[in-house]
Amino acid sequence: MASSSALSRLSNLHNHLRPLDSNNQIEGLVKFSPEVYQALSSGRAVVALESTIISHGMPYPQNLETAKQVEEIVRKNGAVPATIAILDGVPCVGLSAEQLERLATLGTRAQKTARRDIAYVVAGRRNGATTVSATMFFASTVGIPVFVTGGIGGVHRHGEETMDVSSDLTELGKTPVAVVSAGVKSILDIPKTLEYLETQGVCVVGYKTDEFPAFFTDTSGCKAPCRLDTPEECARLIDATTKLKLGNGVLIAVPIPKEQSASGSKIESAIQKALKEAREKNIIGSAETPFLLARVNELTGGASLASSIL
């Protein structure tokens, strides 16, 4: 996952958290956990967490164990975790232990839910695990300004031919939530992803690094557009973005610790093989990323999954 150290103080954005608006029309559609509702109502720091990593990112029981560990890291650093998912058609902001267990055991039977899928999943009373874009949407709607995840989506390799661009990028361009992540998944085209984020007007920051991280590894060969070195600087950036009413998100990329980073050449070799297999099997769209991540994990003997969990 992205940075527990950066999270410890980034999550402490009490002054920038909007109290829950009782007149917000979406409130009647969303179910809050008691812990999250109380925190939002009193202005305490809350950190949003996605749920696709639970259902589609890793196998059971590692997915459940990782979800619990991430929530515990948030709590230890003085904030309240709000894992977001849709269960039986009800958007849930903050999950109970039983709901986390249910989502983890559902696995890929829960629909991978981006912004475009939200209404479909809700209307059909389905179960949905939220991607970065859907998580950002719900977080912004209920007043959670910070969202922590592993790696965001981006422009897929050969995206200039397929037009396969993650909705995570357009969401960052129009939703005022700060996303703290370990960069962009290295299965994607990172240079094109950074270009697309520039087009969307998204401020991209390398945290204590001049090089943009690549999720599994701490290096990508791409320069980070901006660099900040303290949580206070990051908080000021988020505050300025909010006060200026820019209307877009901020991406703060925190590299995985070097000692836990997977071998770049080993990962790239596995990615190339997985991409070839995906093309041969005509695996495209929302099914491509889960396939590639799972196949890269197999080809690296579990090294990529270990890096993902860390």
| Nearest-10 Cα torsion for 110, 180, 1, 166 | 40
Return d(Cα 261, Cα 244) in angstroms, integer. Answer: 37
Which residues have a Cβ under 8 Å from the Cβ of 201 and sit 6 or more positions away? 173, 246, 248
- Cβ atoms 51, 17 nearer than 8 A: no
Which position among 50, 71, 171, 288 bears the catalytic label? 50
At 85, list the tokens: 């998912």
Strand partners, 184: 152
Return d(Cα 66, Cα 149) in angstroms, integer. Answer: 12
- Cβ atoms 95, 64 nearer than 8 A: no
Return d(Cα 300, Cα 214) in angstroms, integer. Answer: 16
Which position among 31, 71, 171, 185 bears the catalytic label? 185
- Cβ atoms 78, 125 nearer than 8 A: no
At 4, list the tokens: 């527990």
Buried b (16+ CB within 10 A) or exposed e, 17-28: beebeeeeeeee
Catalytic status, residue 276: no
Catalytic status, residue 50: yes
Residues with a known catalytic role: 50, 185
